[in-house]
Each structure stands twice: as C-alpha cells, then as structure tokens.
A and B are shown apart, each in its own frame.
Chain A
C-alpha cells in the first residue's frame, strides 16, 4: 500500500528543478557569451596591435646593415625583388619583409606582420616604406682639386676627361670633361712633368674661388666630412701602412663564395682581378684618422684621410679620395693610379705634390658607383610611410 501511495503522488519539484536549471543555464550561457565576446574583442585588439608593431619592426629592419645588402645600391634591374625575408619580432609575432627595386636608386619595402598562432585568431598588417639612398654629393671641380700648392713632375698624368674604368663594362656614357686641375687662385700650380700633355681636361687647369672654399672639402650635399667619417665601414688609426691591398674571400660548405668585408685590408675588387665577383660590388667608406701609406694592390670606395696620404708601388684606387693633409705620390715607374677624383685640403699650402708615375683621372662612373655602393638606405620622410591594405 505504501508503494502505491508514493507512485500516485503528483509533485512539481521536478518541473521546478528543470525550469531552474534552464534559467541558471541561460544565465551562465549569457554571462559566458558576454565574457567570450569581451575576450575575443580584447584578444583581437591585442593581435592587431602586435601585427602592427611586428610590421613596423620588419619595415625598420630594412635599414639594418645586416639586412640591407649594399650591392643592391648599384642594382639597376627595376622591378626585381631584392629580398624576401621572414622575421621574428620576438614576442610570438613575425612576418615577411620584401624589398623591391624601383630603379633610379629608389626601393619599396613591404612588411607584412602576423600575430597569433591559431587559425581562428590571427592579426595581419601590411605596411610599406619608400626607401632612397642616402649618399654624399661630391662637387669635384677637377680631377684634382686643391686649395694648396700643387706640384706635378715626372711622368705624372692628370686627366679631367670623364673616363670610365676599363674593367667596368656597365658604366653609362661619359659626362662632359672637368678641368684636370682646379686650384686656388692664390696658389698657381707648378707643372713640370715630362710629357707634353700631362694635364688635360676642359680646361687642363683652372683657378677657381671654390677651390679656396673650405665647404668644398667639408660639405658633401647634406653630409659633412664628419658625417661621412661616422658612416665609415672601416676606421683605421693613423700611421698605418697597407701593402698590396687585396680582397679576401670565404667559401661556405655549399661552395658559395663570400666577400669578407670585415677584413681591414679588403677594399673591394676594382680591377676585377679575381674570378669571384663577390667583392666587386663592395665599396667601403674608409676613414683614416691620421697619415696613411699605400703600397701596391687595389681598392675602391670612398677614401677619407685626416692626415697625409702617401701612395706608391702601383696602387690602384677607384672612387673619390679626400685628403685633409697632403697627397704625395711617389715611385720610380710604379706610382699610383686614382680613378674618380681627388680633393686635397691642405692647411700647409706647400705640401701637395703629385710626382712619379702617377695617373689621376676623373671618372663620374667610379665616383657614382662608389657613392652608391657605400650609400645607406633611408625612408623618405615626407611620404615614405604607407599603410597597405
């Protein structure tokens, strides 16, 4: 009878319990939904911010010396993708950096930043940067420009005609000729060379007020001599002597040959005397904090000498040479050859002399390649930064 009674009861507890469960479940779902929404929005904001900073990191890394290959500076292939490089921003985000050559020494860096590791939660941002080369502008008044005395003797030749280096086959057509010698009106040159036309150019020699102007030797476009020195790839203490300058190479396990740029005596390969082309695009800025003596070998780039430069032994140098002291070339039939342009600012006006078997010839190609090759990239500050969609 007891079991019969229990079975017959019509309670509402179950119904109430179910209803309560539904309501509580609804509350939990509602709260969970709200917090999930907040979490997702917050997470997406963080992911977007990280992707943005990652993209900026990648974009700015284009300027780093270990990313920017200075051989690109002389690359004339417009449209070529020079670099595709994945990067890791270090906070779990990363991306890809591409650098495209636009020609005319202009480049476009496109950095795509990513954040988030799951497919359902990822941030992406793409930024662009218009890069151009930051390089000095040399105002060569002649193949040799000096404010001090200049003495030309022996078998020396100075040519102001624009002469591309014979080893370089990709030079543009020559520009118009410069004077062979540009000198201060107050200090006429002493030309006592053995050859009849040892100094040529348009005109062969000319007194110019600008040769007396200190800015000619110190201001190179928007860069000063000190700025150039600060940009130097090689800083050499004064009093150093280099004998037989030559490029150095390294071969990796796959047989690829690299140019060892850290070697102090590797100043590139201007004469293309080595089978590997690895050092041919290497145009270092070399800053010597005092006197320098070069005996034999070859180098290219921009040579800045705070003191005197003594060259002999058949040394070849292609590119601009700025000497704060005296340029002295000596040698019995094996002096030196400077292709590009030479400027010597000498406070001791009677110290400049070019003697022996020396050849100084103006070459806009050698100057421009050295300037380009040693130039560093910079973002165009007025319109360089772009947000890409």
Chain B
C-alpha cells in the first residue's frame, strides 16, 4: 500500500515537471537576494554620487577656465597708459578700452575723415585686418601718423552709417580682386595729415568686467560695453561665465591684482605691466565622493597677464 502511494507521488511529480521549495530554501534565497540587491543599490547610489560630484567638479573647473580664457585675450593687447579708465582699476572690477580689432588704411579722403580698410580675408593671405566684431558706429579709433611716427590721440569715433563690407574701394595695399571689398567708415574728427594709405588702425570700445548677481541669485562674471551711439550708452552687464563666489566672500569670486614692471603692486595705470586675475568658483551641490572632502566643491584659477603694449 505504501509502495503504491509512493509510486503515485513520483508519477505526479514527473507529470508536472516541478518541485517545491522548502521554507529554508526560500529564506536563504531571499537573504541572498537581499544581499545582492543591497550591494547593487549601494553601487548605484555611489555611482550616482560619483556622477553628481564629478559633474560638479568638472563644472566648477570649467567655470574658472572659461573666465580666465576670456580675460587673457582681452587684456593682453591693452596699453595701460591710455586704455585704463581713471579709478576703474579695482580689486573686483576692471574698466578699460577694449581692443576690438586692427587694420590698415587702404584708402583715405583729403579731409582725412572717410577711411577704407581691407576686408579680413585677403586672397594673398596678408592678414591686414582682424577684428572680434566688425567696427560699429560709436567705436573709437586710433590711427598711426606716419609723419610723427606716433598714434593720433583718442577722441576719434566712427560716425555716420554702419560700416559694411564692399562699401569702399582700396587704393593700394590689397590685391586688385580684394580692393572692392573694402570697409568704409567715417570718423567725427580728421585723422590728421600724417594718416595715409598704409597707416595702421586700431578699433576700441569701452568695456567693463565685474561680478554681477543674476536672477538665480548666483554671481557671474559679467561683461558690459559702451558706445556713445547707443541709448543708454552702456549695455546691461551680461553674464559670460560662472557662477563664482560672491564679491563679499573672503576671498571673493573675482580678484584683480595690478603690478608694475618690478613686480610691486601698483594703483597707477601708467605703471601697470602685469594683471593677476584670480577666479574662484563653487559647485551648487554637496559632493560625496571617495577621496574628496564632503561638501561643496570649490576651485580657483589664477593667471598672470603681461600687457604687451606699454609705451
């Protein structure tokens, strides 16, 4: 009888192809699953923290790098004797006459007020003209006087209609095919008798760098330029890099240092030969990464810019 029951049970198992699990097996399985799942969750959480922390580190570093890159190209070419505005050389802001472009006179009228400069790209690759942005009405202009071998003093501005390519024709200096692509502009004061075809030209605009608080309450490196042809003359400061630490932080998010030729700090623009700029940024989230202190990530970058033109 017993043998018969066993045989029936075995047939039943074979028929269904299934075996049951015991409570112990189930518990062991659950414990193992819990351990594995817990480990996985820990890895996922740490990975998420790593990702967030890494993003914060990269973003913060990127902020300071961007700011430094902006300053380097803008400040190297200034001439502190004439390009720094009085009282505007502070530790947290810098107002200056920003070099916007350079060119060479390729045609000029008798009154020395209508000037043509070559286009930026010449077929012979001479590279006579280069600018960040094409000259605008209101930009100030400096001319090199070939008689006095000096630059004509400031006070000359582009006036009249907006210069465009092809508005003037070069007489000399450029290959013939490029001559008709000249940029013509008018200035409000005669450039002077010594300004002739071949005289170098520089274009400028008043500009300022400072920290500015944006609508998100963070502080950004802000750029503002001015042109007498606009109303109001000066634009609202536009954030161009950041966020950085606030200006009242110690140390502040943006800090300028001014030095003379001997490396001593100076407040006199005429003695200025080197500008040190420190940018300090802070991430917006708490980082929790192996090998780094817990908290907000901070980074800073300091650069020294030697001004190239100073006589």
Contact = CB atoms under 8 A, between A and B. Distances in A.
Contacts of A126: 127, 130
Contacts of B77: 385-387
A160 to B, nearest CB: 25
B149 A132 contact: yes
Contacts of A26: 47
B65 A45 contact: yes
A84 B125 CA distance: 10
Interface in B88-145: 99, 102, 104, 124-128, 130-132, 142, 144
B128 A108 contact: yes
Contacts of A130: 144, 200
A203 interface: no
Contact of B197 (A8, A12, A78, A81): A78
B44 A23 contact: yes
Nearest to A386: B102
A237 interface: no
A385 B51 contact: no
Interface string A73-115: 0000011010010000000000000101011101010100000
B4 interface: no
* Secondary structure type dominating chain A contacts: mixed
A381 interface: yes
Contacts of A132: 149
B132 A389 contact: yes
Nearest to A16: B36
Contact of A386 (B17, B99, B151): B99
A16 B131 CA distance: 60
Most A Cβ at <10 Å: residue of B44, B131, B151, B309: B309
B198 A128 contact: no
B36 to A, nearest CB: 5
B65 A383 contact: no
Given A79-B126, A130-B144, A34 B65 contact: no
Given A38-B58, A387-B77, A8 B174 contact: no
B197 A103 contact: yes
Contact of A106 (B18, B76, B172, B200): B200
Nearest to A27: B47
Nearest to B129: A388
B124 A81 contact: yes
Given A78-B172, A103-B197, A388-B102, A382 B309 contact: yes
Contacts, number: 124
Contact of A382 (B17, B81, B175): B81
Nearest to B29: A12
B311 interface: yes
Most B Cβ at <10 Å: residue of A30, A106, A381, A382: A382
Contact of B40 (A19, A81, A381): A19
A37 B65 CA distance: 14
B196 A104 contact: yes
Given A103-B198, A104-B146, A106-B146, A386 B130 contact: yes
B213 interface: no
B198 A106 contact: yes
A161 B95 CA distance: 56
Contacts of B58: 34, 37-38
A269 B196 CA distance: 33
B33 A383 contact: no
Contacts of A384: 308-309
B62 interface: yes
Nearest to B173: A79
Given A37-B58, A102-B104, A383-B142, A388 B127 contact: yes
B253 to A, nearest CB: 21
Interface in B205-264: none
Nearest to A11: B29
Given A41-B65, A45-B65, A383-B309, A389 B130 contact: yes
Contacts of A24: 43
A111 to B, nearest CB: 10
A377 B102 CA distance: 20
B53 to A, nearest CB: 10
Interface string A137-179: 0000000000000000000000000000000000000000000
A197 B186 CA distance: 56
10 contacts: A5-B19, A8-B17, A30-B54, A79-B174, A81-B126, A102-B199, A106-B146, A381-B311, A383-B200, A384-B308
> 5 nearest interchain CB pairs?
A385-B308, A381-B311, A103-B198, A388-B130, A79-B173
Interface of A: 4-5, 8, 12, 16, 19-20, 23-24, 26-27, 30-31, 34, 37-38, 41, 45, 78-79, 81, 84, 98, 100, 102-104, 106, 108, 110, 126, 128, 130, 132, 380-389
Interface of B: 17-19, 33, 36, 40, 43-44, 47, 50-51, 54, 58, 61-62, 65, 73, 76-77, 79, 81, 99, 102, 104, 124-128, 130-132, 142, 144, 146, 149-151, 172-175, 196-200, 202, 308-311
Given A27-B47, A34-B54, 20 more contacts: A8-B18, A12-B33, A23-B43, A30-B51, A78-B172, A79-B126, A98-B125, A98-B126, A103-B173, A104-B146, A104-B199, A106-B199, A130-B144, A381-B309, A382-B309, A383-B142, A383-B151, A384-B309, A386-B202, A387-B99
